[in-house]
Each structure stands twice: as structure tokens, then as C-alpha cells.
Amino acid sequence: MMRALMPNLPNWINESLAERQQADLIRKTVVLDQAQTAHAQIDGKPYIAFCSNDYLGLANHALLKKSLKKAVDKYGVGSGSSHLVIGHTSAHERLEEDIAAWLGYEKVMLFSAGYMANLGAVTALGHKTRDVVGDKLNHASLVDGAKLSDSRLRRYLHNDVSSCERLLKVSSEGSLLVTDGVFSMDGDMAPLSELARLASHYKSLFMVDDAHGLGCLGRSGKGSLALADMSASEVPLLMGTCGKALGTSGAFIATSKVMGEYLTQFARPYIYTTAMSPAMASVTSSSVRLLQSAEGDDLRGRLADNIAYFRQKMQAFPLELMPSETAIQPILVGDSSIALKMSEKLRLRGVWCTAIRPPTVPIGLARLRITLSAEHSLQDIDALIDALEYSLLDK
């Protein structure tokens, strides 16, 4: 069909697609028929979803929906321009102030997505005379930012402080050390205190991508830094997303006033991209306040209980559950075709969990990336356990 529609398509396009198909690596879009909840409607069929990043169940929260309706009436739906032209509204300004107060930073800058925030910060701070030193399993956006910056990218062994120090020793002063706070595919956490110590010793900037930690971890949901009892002075740049535990969309960089001024002048995805919806900025402020409330504490407690319950139930299975205490609970499968078959068997039992395959994860490390939410009931988790047991049957 593709050849018929585009007769002049280069051969390598079709060859690349065929190679991925043969290796069971083709990806497809799934169409959700309803709001983002723990119980999904896909192609007219009900499923319990265990692959969303809506860790606290806020994406369909009644308070946030009510807040959004009010914000749309006041601000409309689009910003119409970049922050530096005429797209920065009082809703954006208030959200920046709310996040800064929540996390203890002087300055917050909003971006349209986490990928854009990382791209903006790393490309602005990287340079051919300075290195970017990063964890081997850092998110793709951090890797791409380093490549686009013309910096030399040095990657240390995953969560290996000694490996990191060896690279910092031979890197130029003023290099950028970057890591995920919670790793999106493994669910484990970075040794932030030790990395911050190295960054200080070797006069490097330290940046943490805490997309999967903020909202879920630490006092008031302040994330990986709070869990490690660290402050803004130890992590000069913090990236956070709004589309995961916060339940909305967009992202931000939290930093100092001086660094914020630098990024305003040199972070191209900030300068040349239309600002996030002002209505979404307004509702995200409501989410930030909710996270600091008693309800936020309750949601984090329910999520922690679900994680503990799932891991306890999994002890009886001959499956390799990776070492994670976060909402991300990957089951290592290895072979991509086996991961796909297991995912399909889960669907037959009413459980939706996508198989994660290369290049998202290294070759030979395909997995079922189970993600838990405060919205899941213990009965939902029991259904997942039953489906996993069914997936092991040789049918």
C-alpha cells in the first residue's frame, strides 16, 4: 500500500520498516475511547490499564475538571504565541510561582512537554568545549539534547557512582552532569546525594529529570530530591513534567534567577515554541495545591500500599520483577516476541499493559512495564496477578 501511494519512496524506508516488523519491534497507536483512568475503554472493550503514567489518578479528577472549566472561560484554550511574544498569561506566571514555592526554587520556566524542557536546557548549557556526562539509562530527551548541543556525550554505567567519577575526572570544568531521578523503564532511583557531591567536587552543573518522581515521592510530593533530603542548592536544575503524577500536561525547569535568565536567552525550545495552554497552566496550579494537601498525602499512601501489595503477590511467580519501589514495576522478559505474546494474553484477560521493546530499552531487555496508580483497587491488582499467571501458560 505504501509503495502504491508513494511510488518514489526510497527503498530504505520500506526496508527499515520490514526489519522492524521482522524483529517484532513495530509500534502502533492505541485509541482510547474515554478519559484517562485506571479502567480503559479501547475499541469498545473494557480493560484495567496498567501502563499509564497517571500515577495518582488526577487526570480525571473532579476538582481539576471543575478548575479547567473555569480557566477556559477566563483564558480560552490556546496561548496564541510563545512566552516571549504575547503568550505568557497571568495563569502561566502564577503556575511558575506556585511550583517555585512548592519545590523551593527561585525561578521556574514552563515548557510544552518534558522532552522540550530537557532539550531546551541541555542544548543551551552544552557546548563543544564542555561535556555532558549522563547515566547510561537516561531518558532519550537528555541524550538528544546532548547530541544537538555539539557537546561530547559521556555515559557512565547505570547508577554507578565510581563510573561517573571516572568520566567527570577527564571532563572539562563546567560540564553538565544529568540523570533521571526515577528511571522511566526500570523504576529505580538515582543516587542523587552522591552524584551531587561529585558535581560539586568537579565543578560541574547538576541537572535532574524527576518526571516520574514528582508528585509521588517525598514530603508533599516534592519528589526524588525530598526523598533524598536535598535542596535546590544541591541540584541547580530540576526538570519536572505535569503530564504524569500532576495529571495535566506540560513541563518546567526549576532553577535560580540567574540560570533562568540564561535559559530565557538561549533555550531555543522555550524561545521558539508556543506556550502551553493558559487554561492548562491554571488547572496545573490547582493540581500543585492538591498535591500539598491531605488528599495528596492520602493518594501517595494508597499508591505506596498498591506497590507493596503487588510486589508481595509477585513473590510467588517465576517472573523477574525488577528492583523498584516506585510506581514503575517492570517485569523483565528479554525476548521481544515473548513480551508481545504475554501482553496479548493479558489483553485476553481484560488487562492492558504494553510490551516495551528496543530501541526504547536495550536489545534483549524487553519487558512488561507495569505502572501502578493510586486509583487501582486491590481487586484490580488481583486481576493483574491472575492475568500474569494466565500469560505463563503454554497456549
The Cα-based distances of 171 to 65, 174, 394 in angstroms read 48, 9, 52
| CA 41 to centroid of chain Cα atoms | 23
The catalytic residue among 88, 92, 244, 376 is 244
Catalytic residue at 127? Answer: no
Element (H, E) at 159: none
Given 83, 212, 222, 376, the catalytic residue: 212
Q: Is 114 among the annotated ligand-binding positions?
A: yes
Instruction: Give the other-Cβ count within 10 Å of 50's Cβ.
Output: 26
Residue 179 assigned as binding residue: no
Q: Which residues, in sequence order, are bridge partners of residue 156? A: 135
Binding site annotation covers 241?
Answer: yes
Catalytic residue among 67, 184, 286, 343: 184
Residues facing 109 on adjacent strands:
253
Q: At what angle do helices 336-348 and 378-391 cross, to 10 degrees?
A: 130
Region of 7 (left: φ > 0; alpha: ψ -120 to 50; beta: rest) is alpha
Q: Is 262 annotated as a binding residue?
A: no
CB under 8 Å, gap of 24 or more: what pairs does 258-267 form?
259/107, 260/106, 260/107, 260/108, 260/109, 262/124, 263/109, 263/120, 263/121, 263/124, 264/84, 264/109, 266/124, 267/109, 267/120, 267/121, 267/123, 267/124
Reported as half-sphere exposure (CB side, CA atoms, 13 A), residue 36 has a value of 22
Distance CA 391, CA 395 (A): 9
How far apart CA 78 and CA 87 sit, in angstroms, is 9
Using an 8 Å Cβ cutoff, are 174 and 205 in contact? yes
Is residue 336 annotated as a catalytic residue, yes or no?
no
Q: Confirm whether residue 27 is marked as ligand binding.
A: yes
To the question of whether residue 115 is assigned a binding role by annotation, the answer is yes
Which helix (H) or strand (E) element contains residue 151?
none
Active site residue 184: yes
Which residues participate in the annotated binding site for pyridoxal 5'-phosphate? 114-115, 184, 212, 241
**Catalytic residue positions?**
184, 212, 244
Which residues participate in the annotated binding site for substrate? 27, 139, 360
